[in-house]
Structure 1
Amino acid sequence: MNGHDLKEFMKELGISHVGFSDVEKVVPSNWSRYHYAISLVVQLSNGIIDDIIDEPTDTYFSHYRSVNYHLNEVMLKTTIALQNCGFGAIPIPASQSLHNKSYYGAFPHKTAATLAGLGWIGKSALFIHHQYGPRVRLGTILTDMELPVGTPVTESSCGNCKICVNSCPAMAIQGQNWIQGMERKELYDAHGCSTHMKEHYQHIGRGSVCGICIKTCPVGR
C-alpha cells in the first residue's frame, strides 16, 4: 500500500478529501514513533447547513452525529488495513474531548489538517477547508507509514472578514487572524461557546451543537 492507494481506499469509503502531514514535532511523546498523520475530511450537507438561521436544527444535530460516526468507522477500517500491511496506526476519534482536558481531544485534527495543507483555521477557530470552508468534519489517523506530505498552511486567509464574529450569539469569537502556533483561546472562548449552547439549545441535542458560524462563513457556500 502507498499514499495513492490509501487515498483511493478512503475515498471509496466516503471521504471527501484526504491529506498527509509530518507531525513528528507536535505528536505527544507517548506516540513519538508515529511521525505522520492522515487527515480525513467529510463535507457536510449544504442543504442542512443552509437551514440553520438563528439556532441549530434537529436535522443538523442528527447529521453532525452521523458524520462523526462515519468518520470513526472509516478510520477504524483504515487502521485495520494499515495494520494488515504491517504499519502502526492510531485513529483519533472525531469530536471527542478528554475527560481531564475540557474541549480538547487526544490530538488536534485541525493541526494535522493545516500541516497537510488542506486549509487554515478561521477567526471562529473552525477549520476552513480551501474548497468546502467550515462545512466539514475532520478525522485523523497517526501512523508510522511514510507518506508524501502536503505543504503546511501557516496563516489565515480570512483577511478583514468578520461575519462569524458578528454572527456568534455567544460573542465568543475574538476576531483575530490565526497564525500557526497560536493558542485557541486567542481566537475564541470555548467555555463561553459551550455555556451558551447548553443554556439556549437544550431542546436540540441537549445543547451540544450550534452551527451558526459554519452557516454564515462565506467560504464554501
Structure 2
Amino acid sequence: MIKLSYLQEKLSSCCEIDSFSISMCSESERQALWDLLPECKSVIVLAHHIKHSIEWAWFPFEAERNNVTCAADLHLKTECEKITSVIKDNGYNSIIIPYPGRSGIRFKDLANKTGLGKIGDNFLFLHKEWGAWAHLRVIVSDGEISDKLPECKEVCYHCGICKTSCPAKVIKDDTLLGVECSQYQNKIDEEFGIQGSYTPKCEECARVCPIGETPEKITISK
C-alpha cells in the first residue's frame, strides 16, 4: 500500500492528487479501466492549477487529443510519469489513462469521486480552491493508496451565472448540449484560428465562475 501523502510530495507545488477504489466506479467505467489495466484497484486523479491562460492555449501537436495539446497537459503528463515511477518502485503496475477520445472515460467524472472537487452547474470540474482552472489527468494502478483526501461534498455556488453568460446557450438545468457546444467551439476556431498554429477555445463559463482566481484572458486579433 502506498500513502497518498508520499505521492503528493513527489509532485510540483502547482499540482494536487487524490485516489479512490475502483469499486466506486460505474460498471462501464470499471470495465474500461480493466481493459487498460487488468486487476487495477485504484484510480489516481491529478489536478494542475492553471494560473496563466497560456497554459490552456491548445496548439497542433502529435498527441492523443485530436492531435492538439497544451502546456498544462504536457506538464501534467510529466507529473503523472513521476507517480507511475514511484508506483513501480513500490512493486505495483500503473498506466496513465489516454484522453477520453481514446479511452472513452471522462476525467471529470472520475475526479468527481475524489476530494479534489466536484462537477459544477457549468458541467466543468470545479476544484475546491481553484474552481474551473484545473487541468486533469488520471492513472490506474493495481496497488492500493491510503490516507486519501477528506470528502468534498459541494463546490458550486449554483449562482446561475454560467448559464446566463454562455454565448451558445448550451448550459441547461440538467444537461449540457455537448454537440452544440462543440459546434460553437469549432466556429470560434474557424474565425480566429491563427493559420492552424493555435486553437482558441471558448472559456466563458469558466471565466464567469466566482470560484477561484481567473487568469487574464489571451487577446486574439483576426
TM-score by length of 2: 0.74
Query: For the residues of structure 2 that align with 1:212 and 1:67, how far apart are their CA atoms?
Result: 19
CA distance in 2, matches of 1:159, 1:6: 31
Decide which of 97, 117, 123 is 2:101's aligned counterpart: 97
1:217 aligns with 2:192: no
For 1:40, what is the secondary structure of its paired residue? strand
The match for 1:18 is: 17
In the alignment, the residues of structure 1 paired with residue 71 and residue 184 of structure 2 have an alpha-carbon distance, to the nearest angstrom, of: 23
**In 1: Cα distance, 2:208 partner to 2:91 partner:** 44
List per-residue Cα deviations over 1:112-157 (Å, max 9, x = no partner).
Answer: 3222221110112100111000011011111122112345546x54
Q: Which residue of 1 aligns with 2:139?
A: 141
Where do 5+ consecutive residues of structure 1 fail to align? Answer: 49-57, 99-104, 177-186
C-alpha distance in 1 between matches for 2:80 and 2:158: 36
The change in CA–CA distance for 1:153 and 1:3 in structure 2 (over 3 A counts) is: closer
Q: Return the alpha-carbon distance in structure 2 between the equivalents of residues 119 and 33 of structure 1.
A: 27
Partner of 1:4: 5
1:80-95 alignment runs, 5 A limit? 80-93=85-98, 95=99
Residue among 68, 77, 98 paired with 2:82:
77
- Note the 1:136-215 alignment, pairs <5 A: 136-148=134-146, 149-153=148-152, 156-176=154-174, 187-202=175-190, 203-204=192-193, 209-215=201-207
SS at match of 2:144: coil
Separation (CA, whole Å) in 1 of partners of 2:199 and 2:177: 16
Give the C-alpha shift of residue 59 in structure 1.
7.4
Instruction: Letter of the 2:57 partner, please give it.
Output: F
Question: Which residue of 2 is the match for residue 180 of structure 1?
Answer: none
Determine helix, strand or coil for the equivalent of 1:115: coil
Higher mean displacement: 124-133 or 192-201? 192-201
Structure 1 residue 207 displacement after superposition: 5.1
* Residues 156-195 of structure 1, C-alpha deviations (whole Å, 9 max, x = no match): 543541111111112111134xxxxxxxxxx201111111
Give, in angstroms, the shift of residue 96 of structure 1.
4.4
TM-score (norm 1): 0.75
Contact 2:4–2:17, Cα closer than 8 Å, also in 1 = no
The alignment yields a C-alpha RMSD, in angstroms, of 2.6
Q: Which residue of 2 aligns with 1:44?
A: 50
Alignment gaps of 5+ in structure 2: 60-68, 214-222
